[in-house]
Structure 1
C-alpha cells in the first residue's frame, strides 16, 4: 500500500544536492533493513514535518543525516515524483532537490530515526567522474548527467521536472 501524506496526497520531500569546494556531491549509502546487499546511494533529505517549508525540511534533514550545518542553500534544481518499495511499504513521493554548498565536509549522523539507523550505512563525497563510472545504484538514476550539466551550466532558470521513477 502506498505511503501518502494526510489527505491522500503524495509525501512531500525535500532533498539536498550538497556540493563541497571541489564540486563533489554528498550521497548517503542506504539499504533495505533486512538485506544490506540490497543497497543504493541517495541525496540527503526527507519528508516535511507539520507546517515546515521545503527549504526548512531540506536544512533540517541535512543536519540530522549528516551533522552539516554550515550551508548556503540555493535554488530548487529539480522536481521528481517517485514510487518505490522500502521496509515493507510502498513510498510515493514528490521530491524537490535544492542546491546547497558547504566547506564543512566531515559528516556525523546526529538525528537519525530508528528506521534510518537500521538502513543508512554511511556517507561519501563523489566526484562527477566517479558517479558516471559507478556500477552501484544511485538515485535519482540520472544524477551523474544532471550533476555534469549543473557544474557546466550552473543552476537552471527554474526547477527542471525529472522523469517519474517507479521501482
Structure 2
C-alpha cells in the first residue's frame, strides 16, 4: 500500500526550492536530521527549505519554510541575495526528484528551534536539529548530499562578510 501523502511510485518530481542556512556567530549552521520515509534506517543531515508555491517568490518561500520547519520568523527581505544555486537529483519516497535549489544565508544569534509548525510527514521523518561546522559534517559522511558541506562554507563566508561591513 502506498502512502497517499507521497507522489505515485515512478513519478518524476521536478521542483524549485528555496533553502535557508542560519549561521551562528561561531560559524555553525543549522541543519535538520531526518530520513526518506521508505529508508528510515539511513538518516542524514539536510538543509531547511522546500518547494516554492505558485505565486511565491524564492525569498517568501524561504521564510515560510524557515517558520514551518524550525520556527524562525523573518520577513522575506531579511534573507538578502542568494548565496548559491544548484540542481540536484535524488530519490525520496520512491520517486526520482530533480530539484532546482536557491540557498539563502542568514545570521542568527540565539534562536529557539521548534518543530511545532511542521506538517505530519515532516514530523514523521525529521527527528532533530543540529548546528554544524562544514568540516565536522563532511567528516561524518552523513550529509544528505555531497554539496552540503560546501554550501555551509559559502553561507558562513557570506555572513562573515555581511557582519564585517
Q: Match for residue 113 of structure 1?
A: 119
| Alpha carbons of structure 1 residues 22 and 70: separation in structure 2 relative to 1, 3 Å | farther
Q: Match for residue 144 of structure 1?
A: 149
Q: Match for residue 103 of structure 1?
A: 109
Give the drift of 1:12: 1.2
User: Where is the strand percentage greater, Structure 1 or Structure 2?
Assistant: 1
- Within-5 A mapping of 1:1-167: 1-4=11-14, 11-69=15-73, 72-136=78-142, 138-148=143-153, 151=156, 154=158
| Alpha carbons of structure 1 residues 82 and 135: separation in structure 2 relative to 1, 3 Å | closer
Give the drift of 1:80: 1.0
| Alpha carbons of structure 1 residues 95 and 132: separation in structure 2 relative to 1, 3 Å | same
Provide runs of 4+ in structure 1 moved above 6 Å.
none
Structure 2 runs not aligned, ≥5 long: 1-10, 160-165
| Alpha carbons of structure 1 residues 32 and 70: separation in structure 2 relative to 1, 3 Å | same
**Mean alpha-carbon deviation: is it higher for 127-136 or for 79-88?**
127-136
TM-score, normalised via structure 1 length: 0.78
User: Where is the helix percentage greater, Structure 1 or Structure 2?
Assistant: 2
SS of equivalent residue, structure 1 residue 132: helix
TM-score, normalised via structure 2 length: 0.78
User: Size of the alignment, in residue pairs?
Assistant: 147
Structure 1 runs not aligned, ≥5 long: 5-10, 156-167
